[in-house]
Amino acid sequence: MAEVEATAGQLRLYSYYRSSCSHRARIALNLKGVDYEYKAVNLLKGEQSDPEFLKLNPMKFVPALVDDDAVIGDSYAIALYLEDKYPDPPLLPQDPRKKALNHQIANIVSSGIQPP
């Protein structure tokens, strides 16, 4: 696995191409038009247990987004982080009811149908 230090000012996404969670993070980054560096973590080869990755994300989860010294290790948290940091274009509607429905659907996906 490559070194884990992020280039100053550039986001780095640790991801696995077959992970639906990672896919959601990539969708959010791309919809926002945010430049980021993609770092592959091959789960089938056990790269999530690599000592360098463990320093970055002890939970061994992908995706993991690195922004300077911040590490966000959950696709839903990554999407919300991106929404706050890069408000345009928005991922969520401004109407509180529609926004709540979006959060409800996201929680159903992450807790109800997402495989462990």
Percent of the chain at pLDDT exceeding 90: 80
Domain with residue 85: its CATH number is 3.40.30.10
Cβ neighbours, 10 Å, residue 67: 19
- The pTM of the full predicted model, rounded to 2 decimals, is 0.85
Task: Confirm whether 2 is domain-assigned.
Answer: no
Number of domains in the chain: 1
User: Could you give the CA distance from residue 55 to residue 81 in angstroms, rounded to a whole number?
Assistant: 21
Q: Does the pLDDT value for residue 98 go beyond 70? A: yes
Write out the residue range of the structural domain in which residue 104 sits. 11-113
- Asked whether 93 and 41 are in contact (CB, 8 A), the reply is no
Mean pLDDT calculated for residue range 99-116: 80
Q: Does the pLDDT value for residue 106 go beyond 90? A: no
> Which pLDDT band holds residue 93 (cuts at 50, 70, 90)?
very high
Task: Confirm whether 75 is domain-assigned.
Answer: yes
pLDDT tens for each residue of 6-50: 456 799 999 999 998 999 999 999 999 999 999 999 999 999 999
- Asked whether 81 and 93 are in contact (CB, 8 A), the reply is no
User: Could you give the CA distance from residue 86 to residue 98 in angstroms, rounded to a whole number?
Assistant: 20
pLDDT tens for each residue of 52-77: 999 999 999 999 999 999 999 999 99
